[in-house]
Structure 1
């Protein structure tokens, strides 16, 4: 069953009407984003884009990816039989959390896939908390003293399980 996407269809029609050629949507680059221990990894499909025309910028709270593909060339009296590859511009923006180390972001492009590594700041990583081994009576004393303080704060309160006559 195929669903009709009104907004996508309106975008396609308006692009065709105003430019004469369909223009890929700005989100035409599919993205996968996942966390891998102490970093986030984002993979963006950008097939057919020259690596030198892919731009990644990072600022606190925002990562922006821009890519341009220019397929226009001078008309040399060619007789096109099929011409489906148009020039394209892709812009993707991803909100970054406060835990990303913006200064350590790295990116590489291979086989049409842009891979952006977003390290988590060291102070935002989970810390291992050491568990001290102490006397077993220290925990119950803390609970008992807490219950005693509660009883002293409300001396007229009776426990729910007691029977008063």
Structure 2
């Protein structure tokens, strides 16, 4: 007798629209979900260092570029396409591997020492270590 003004669930439609917009605007979609870039990062630290781990398997270390400028750490590079064969008639049915240029930017804390930065790449993991300035490290104060 009464008809609904909204034949579908309004909240489900809004959720679908939001997901579609995120997928359209996400510069680096991954199979792990929306909003994450490539390479995936873990950022942490100790009282003496800042530690950044970038998970980038299958890359040549020469294809990576790490720069630090005014407290902004940038990890950039390009992942070349990987096709199942060299033949022109190869059909790809599923391609979930990210390929193309990438750039990740991290703002470091002010106590990071730009002169004490090391980067190593091993087994697909780029490890960047930035020493903290000695003046910002915790120290014990003697009580008189």
Which of 4, 25, 28 is residue 24 of structure 1 equivalent to?
28
Size of the alignment, in residue pairs?
122
Which of 61, 73, 80 is residue 51 of structure 1 equivalent to?
61
Q: When the two structures are superposed, what TM-score results if normalisation uses the length of structure 2? A: 0.69
Higher relative contact order (CA 8 A, sep 6+): 2
- Which whole-Å CA distance do the structure 2 matches of 1:108 and 1:100 have between them? 18
Deviations 1:123-149 (A, max 9, x none): 2212221111xxxxxxxxxxxxxxxxx
Structure 1 residues 125 and 86, CA, compared in 2 at 3 Å: closer, same or farther? Answer: closer
- Kindly indicate whether the alpha-carbon contact (under 8 Å) linking 1:60 and 1:96 is maintained by their aligned counterparts in 2: no
Which of 38, 42, 45 is residue 52 of structure 2 equivalent to?
42
- Which whole-Å CA distance do the structure 2 matches of 1:13 and 1:33 have between them? 27
Structure 2, unaligned runs of 5 or more: 1-14, 30-35
Aligned counterparts, 1:71-86, within 5 A: 71=81, 76-82=87-93, 84=95, 85=97
Q: When the two structures are superposed, what TM-score results if normalisation uses the length of structure 1? A: 0.61
Structure 1 residues 81 and 70, CA, compared in 2 at 3 Å: closer, same or farther? Answer: closer
Which protein has the bigger helix share? Answer: 1
Are 2:13 and 1:9 aligned? no
Offset, 1:78: 4.3
Structure 1 residues 90 and 125, CA, compared in 2 at 3 Å: closer, same or farther? Answer: same
- Kindly indicate whether the alpha-carbon contact (under 8 Å) linking 1:57 and 1:64 is maintained by their aligned counterparts in 2: yes
- Kindly indicate whether the alpha-carbon contact (under 8 Å) linking 1:70 and 1:86 is maintained by their aligned counterparts in 2: no
Offset, 1:8: 5.5
Structure 1 residues 43 and 6, CA, compared in 2 at 3 Å: closer, same or farther? Answer: farther
Which protein has the bigger strand share? Answer: 2
Deviations 1:77-96 (A, max 9, x none): 34235462453222111111
**What secondary structure is seen at the aligned counterpart in 2 of 1:52?**
helix
What residue is the counterpart of 2:105 in the other structure? 93
What residue is the counterpart of 1:128 in the other structure? 140
